Amino acid sequence: AAGSFPPPAGRGPSRGPAMDLFGDLRRMNKRQLYYQVLNFAMIVSSALMIWKGLIVITGSESPIVVVLSGSMEPAFHRGDLLFLTNFHDDPIRAGEIVVFKVEGRDIPIVHRVIKIHEKENGNIKFLTKGDNNEVDDRGLYKEGQNWLEKKDVVGRARGFLPYVGMVTIIMNDYPKFKYALLAVMGAYVLLKRES
């Protein structure tokens, strides 16, 4: 007589990924859960330390930015990732691409310096314009402001990666996608088991 083997251990009938996720959470003991939460915290703190390190090394408050509009085409396209530095000893020159903040606007602007006014005491005022724009940026500056100063500069473009920042644009345009992506990444880190 042939012996019968027990059916292979499984999860029973096929369930959706959400049910599997909650099942994994229930089976995880407290020590594993604490370990995974600490692992997630280490990943987040490591990313923050790398970001702060880049700020110190580059001298820019935002060492990496994403181009959000087509105003600098053909030099930069929407979604390009820019690497910035902002060393205050380097003089700003016409033709240089700068990222600047204007009072009253939350998002920095990436445009080219087209005119410089340098005084004898070393103070510099300059005017910017997008390569793809018809007119200069005076309409973007705060009311009554005709020139930018060095204090307005967040950084100067030193390099770029084309279209890598499209993920950021998609997350800004579709907030639900951003939260879904964050939830999936968090669940993956929490539920990932060491092999």
Mind listing the pLDDT tens digit for each residue in 150-176?
999 999 999 999 998 888 888 888 888
Q: Do 185 and 109 have their domain in common?
A: no
- pTM, rounded to two decimals: 0.70
Q: Do 76 and 157 have their domain in common?
A: yes
131 classed as catalytic: no
State the pLDDT confidence band at 3, using cuts at 50, 70 and 90: very low
- The boundaries of the domain holding residue 131 are 64-162
Which is catalytic among the residues 4, 45, 80, 111?
Answer: 111
Which is catalytic among the residues 137, 152, 173, 195?
Answer: 137
Q: Do 158 and 68 have their domain in common?
A: yes
Q: Does any domain span residue 140?
A: yes
State the pLDDT confidence band at 25, using cuts at 50, 70 and 90: low
Q: Does any domain span residue 95?
A: yes
Q: Does any domain span residue 17?
A: no
Q: Do 34 and 77 have their domain in common?
A: no
Count of domains for the chain: 3
Q: Does any domain span residue 85?
A: yes
Q: Do 136 and 70 have their domain in common?
A: yes
Give the closest residue to 64 by CA, choosing from 82, 87, 46: 82
Judge contact between 133 and 69, C-beta under 8 A: no
pLDDT tens sequence across 91-143: 899 999 999 999 888 889 999 999 999 888 878 999 999 999 999 999 999 98
71 classed as catalytic: yes
Q: Do 70 and 138 have their domain in common?
A: yes
Which is catalytic among the residues 60, 71, 80, 152?
Answer: 71
Q: How far is CA 17 from CA 11, 111, 114, 150, in A?
A: 12, 46, 55, 52
88 classed as catalytic: no
